[in-house]
Structure 1
Amino acid sequence: MTAFFGSVFWLLVTLGVLVTFHEFGHFWVARRCGVKVLRFSVGFGNAIWKRIGRDGTEYRIAAIPLGGYVKMLDAREGEVDPALADQEFTGKPVWQRIAIVAAGPGFNLIFTVLALWLMFVIGKPDAAPVVAAVPNSLAAQADIRDGDRVLRVDGKPVSTWSETYEAIANAMLGREPLPMHVRDPDGRERDVVLPLQRLPAGGSLDEYLPKLGLKLAPPPAVVAQVLPGKPAAAAGMQPGDRILAVNGQPVHDYEDFQRLVPAEAAKAPRLTLTIERGGHTLPLVVEARREALEGQPPNWIIGVAGAPREMAVLRYGPLRALPAALHSTWDHTRSTLAMLGKMLTGQASARNISGVIGIAQVANVSASMGPAWFLEFLAMVSLSLAILNLLPIPVLDGGHLLYYLIELVKGRPLSERAMALGQYVGLTLLLVLMGLAFYNDIHRLLPS
């Protein structure tokens, strides 16, 4: 599946699952409050399947799989049969209307916790937080050294690279010094501080990350496997050999080795490798060969594989996974609200907002990384939907909740004119937000 079609497919899966779950929250609570639900639709547009349930609700699957909706009996949308007046939405007490509207975001929060719980039970494979610093970067200025293992970020323990990256990314938006505790390859621990205050104001994460210069440490240049019948095997290379140089050019890690072999072989296929074996330094002459491996374009190879990067699996038992999921939901909620606050006050750039294109790309990547990664992605999008829908913007659930809270204070509903004006304002704000997100997505796709 190509990246484009994969992104489209997993976007449809994401929106279909999350928006339908959101609408099911409205549906379920409306039914419990005695409101008649006329239609529950998975998708929009013309129905490709439908049936009338015993409760009188029309259940349908529609042609456009971009979510769903619930249609309730509502006097604002036409005449209501007097016999059904007690099942009409606007006639219900205000607290019941609040419960029905809040149920959509509430079910998104429930989905977030459940998805994270399942992710922890399955176990999410990830890289260990063993890092390196790009020369002259902020990480290098903080004395981050190659092979340092990050143990804590701002006092919070971390065990995987994604945990470390997420904590640092959130801190970069605030542009404040970030303390970390690390352990070097010899076991010595020390405290370092990333000088994030030196980042330029108003930038996006895409601009900050190169300046930060913190990356996963590449594996050492140690041969893990020698492929039979290839040039390295013919030259006598053995598993465990450490490669020190290629044609006299020093090799610090496996990335250096992968870069130097094709570059030097393009000049002349005969390569002189300097290796370390059993404490002794040895020269080794290898005739590189140009081949296409595993469907890749032809390239110069010698036929060795390096040691894999150290991995860590974030996994808990079913009981321990529940508090971990609740804690993770709370942490992500706080960081999301903090980011929104920083964008509103100008501390963080609105260029950090992603739209449907960005969501589709991340959906495809996370799905390709395995079920645990995709569950975490679904959880984060579900949480974002909950928070977005609770914003006090008319046309969103939060706007309706604002109307009902005003009704509680005043003792009577807002006028239809006031609500109509709010709808126009809310729709305008929503279109501006969607336009900004779409612009950011397109800007990221364009070459810099």
Structure 2
Amino acid sequence: MDNLFIILPAFIFTIALLVAIHEFGHFWVARKLNVKVLRFSIGFGMPLFSFRGKKDNTEFVLAAIPLGGYVKMLDEREADVPEDEVHRAFNRQSVYKRFAIVFAGPFINFVFAAFAFWLMFVMGVQGVKPIMGKLAPTSISWESGLRSGDHIVAVDDNDTPTMSAVYEHLFEAFLDRSTATITLNDQRKVHFDFSSMAQDVEPSELHKIIGLTVQLPVEDVIISEVTVDSPAAKAGIEAGDQIIAIDGQSIDHWRELVNAVIDRPGETISVEILRNAQRSTLAVIIGSAKSANRTIGRIGVRPKSVSGLPKSMYSMHQYGIFAAIPKGIEKTWDLSVLTVKMLGRIVIGEASIKNISGPITIAEVAGQSAQLGIESFLRFLAIVSLSLGVINLLPIPMLDGGHLLFYIVEIVKGSPVSDMVQEIGLKIGVTLLVMLMSVALYNDFARLLN
């Protein structure tokens, strides 16, 4: 695991900030609708810090466990309410006011996500231009007609200044099992057809299946160090050897060597080396290592030198203050739709529950994104915020979406849902949430153990 002194503060900051934003949505709308707020708490458990506000003597609390929060409002169902304050009790409000107060929490998560994306676009997003490097003949990229040197400028009429933008739009077509149209800089068009792809193909495999690679500068891949007892050492690779090819495919850059082994732990590859002007071929059984939330292949070698990409290979994706507003909203909408589609695939069994992550994985990614810079961390905050918004809108009792469902039923039938139905719904909601958290934690620990 990465540096704990970075991961832990980044995780606590992320959760506390997004929970505060979510609960502030409930709090602000309740205040505007003249509903009395008794307590605004960030976290659960023992209070670490608290103070009383001037209006309504509201208690503001920072508690010890920062994995949630709540806004407690005046409510006759929870305690006796003085006669002169009954009109300010939550349960006495019209169904439309209650709906607005509950909906405000998830809604402000989407607003914050749009703001984070807006700030990210104003600051500028740098990425590698999607100019194709070597493509595997078995990949979708090659079969669709892409070749080395092709420059992708759009996917389904969406501009793609960076490789990450290309994958983002291809991922949407993959989830829909539709055909994506790729436009090249010479106006040629190629098509990625996902319609016939098996439903059980995992999204995590998409990168390998598509097979896109960026153009890299040519350099000799010379080994400076071989880890003791590593797969490379056991196969006979030595410091000073030059890697010429893997499985018959020439290796002209260190990144090509990494790409050739990273997705193949446990497989055996044929490595052609140059040593003292003599060529030889060695069989290497790729080892495995834990990286972020997945297992990757490694052979245990370090390069003598690695040349970076030239500046001409990078693209700065940047907008003005006003032009970035619709871009931030568009980005929030697109990723929210993708999140819903992904959840839908999990529910109907077309995607593995292994895609569900818990607090441990979120903590790791928070730390990694914080180390990569403000742009990366803003993107992470936005994605987690909109995910929090989507999940809270699910029609599950205990979540905001469950309450909203009851309110919609109340609007339709003209009277509140019965206490018995609400109690049954509550039990179902608790069961579903416990199951969801259990799966998320299991996946987190499984990734750690792997």
TM interval, shorter chain, is: 0.7 to 0.9
- 1:42 and 2:39 aligned: no
Q: Deviations over 1:219-239 (max 9, x none)?
A: 21169xxxxxxxxxxxxxxxx
* Structure 1 pair 421–177 and aligned structure 2 pair: CA distance change class (3 A): same
* Equivalent pair of 1:38/1:72 in contact (CA under 8 Å): yes
Structure 1 unaligned regions, length at least 5: 224-244, 273-296
Q: Distance in 2 between matches of 1:166 and 1:256?
A: 22
Instruction: Calculate the aligned-residue CA RMSD, in Å.
Output: 3.1
* Equivalent pair of 1:130/1:216 in contact (CA under 8 Å): yes
Greater alpha carbon shift after TM alignment, 154-163 vs 307-316: 307-316
- 1:253 and 2:256 aligned: no
Q: Deviations over 1:88-143 (max 9, x none)?
A: 11011211111110110111111111111111111122221223323422222223
Q: Distance in 1 between matches of 2:438 and 2:88?
A: 38
Find the counterpart in structure 2 of residue 221 from structure 1. 218
- 1:390 and 2:393 aligned: yes
- 1:8 and 2:8 aligned: yes
* Structure 1 pair 406–258 and aligned structure 2 pair: CA distance change class (3 A): closer
* Structure 1 pair 298–131 and aligned structure 2 pair: CA distance change class (3 A): closer
Find the counterpart in structure 2 of residue 324 from structure 1. 327
* Equivalent pair of 2:129/2:163 in contact (CA under 8 Å): yes
Find the counterpart in structure 2 of residue 278 from structure 1. none
Find the counterpart in structure 2 of residue 26 from structure 1. 26
Find the counterpart in structure 2 of residue 87 from structure 1. 88
Q: Distance in 2 between matches of 1:212 and 1:440?
A: 26
Structure possessing the higher radius of gyration over alpha carbons: 1
3-state SS in 2 of match to 1:215: coil
Q: How many residues align?
A: 393
Find the counterpart in structure 1 of residue 119 from structure 2. 118
Aligned 1:246-395 pairs, distance under 5 A? 253-255=252-254, 301=304, 305-308=307-310, 310-395=313-398
* Structure 1 pair 93–337 and aligned structure 2 pair: CA distance change class (3 A): same
* Structure 1 pair 101–190 and aligned structure 2 pair: CA distance change class (3 A): same
Q: Distance in 2 between matches of 1:412 and 1:427?
A: 25
* Structure 1 pair 198–90 and aligned structure 2 pair: CA distance change class (3 A): same
Identity of aligned residues (%): 40
TM-score by length of 2: 0.78
**Which amino acid in the other structure matches residue 156 of structure 1?**
N
Q: Distance in 1 between matches of 2:349 and 2:306?
A: 51
Find the counterpart in structure 2 of residue 212 from structure 1. 210
Find the counterpart in structure 2 of residue 78 from structure 1. 79
* Structure 1 pair 65–350 and aligned structure 2 pair: CA distance change class (3 A): closer
Q: Distance in 2 between matches of 1:351 and 1:172?
A: 18
Find the counterpart in structure 1 of residue 164 from structure 2. 162
Q: Distance in 1 between matches of 2:306 and 2:209?
A: 34
Structure 2 unaligned regions, length at least 5: 221-240, 259-269, 279-299
* Equivalent pair of 2:2/2:364 in contact (CA under 8 Å): no
Find the counterpart in structure 2 of residue 171 from structure 1. 173
* Equivalent pair of 1:138/1:196 in contact (CA under 8 Å): no
Q: Distance in 1 between matches of 2:169 and 2:44?
A: 38
Q: Distance in 2 between matches of 1:441 and 1:202?
A: 22
TM-score by length of 1: 0.79
1:397 CA displacement: 0.6
3-state SS in 2 of match to 1:329: helix
* Equivalent pair of 1:35/1:89 in contact (CA under 8 Å): yes
Q: Deviations over 1:43-99 (max 9, x none)?
A: 222122211121210112222223422111111112222232122110112111111
For 2:194, which of 189, 193, 196 is the aligned residue?
A: 196
